[in-house]
Amino acid sequence: MACPICNKETVQAYRPFCSKRCADIDLGRWLGGGYAVPSQDPEDAERAIEEAERATNKLPSRKH
Ligand SMILES: [Zn+2]
């Protein structure tokens, strides 16, 4: 099974996600409301992650 956020392999402790970060992102998606499920494109996933981080406003910004 793959993480629905970043498509990496799921980690048992955080399933269906690969990490707490992705679980938080999914939560942020629901809290933020109405932004689309990211495509399989890694760049889209990265963008979604950044948007989710802004939406939740509790995860540190990542430097690229
Ligand atoms: Zn993930």
DSSP 8-state class, residue 16: T
Q: Is residue 48 part of an annotated ligand binding site?
A: no
Range of the domain at 27: 12-58
Task: Select the highest-mean-pLDDT range: 14-18, 31-35, 55-59, 60-64.
Answer: 14-18
Does 27 fall in a domain?
yes
CA angle (10, 4, 8) in 5-degree steps: 45
| Helices 20-32 + 42-56 axis angle, to 10 | 70
Provide the domain count of the chain.
1
Determine the distance separating the centroid of ligand 1 and the alpha carbon of 49, expressed in angstroms.
9
Does 1 fall in a domain?
no
Does 2 fall in a domain?
no
Q: Tell me, what amino acid is at 58?
A: K
Rounded to two decimals, the pTM is 0.48
Does 29 fall in a domain?
yes
Determine the distance separating the centroid of ligand 1 and the alpha carbon of 8, expressed in angstroms.
5
pLDDT tens-digit map of 2-47: 999 999 999 999 999 999 999 999 888 877 765 555 556 667 778 8
Determine the distance separating the centroid of ligand 1 and the alpha carbon of 18, expressed in angstroms.
4
Determine the distance separating the centroid of ligand 1 and the alpha carbon of 3, expressed in angstroms.
5
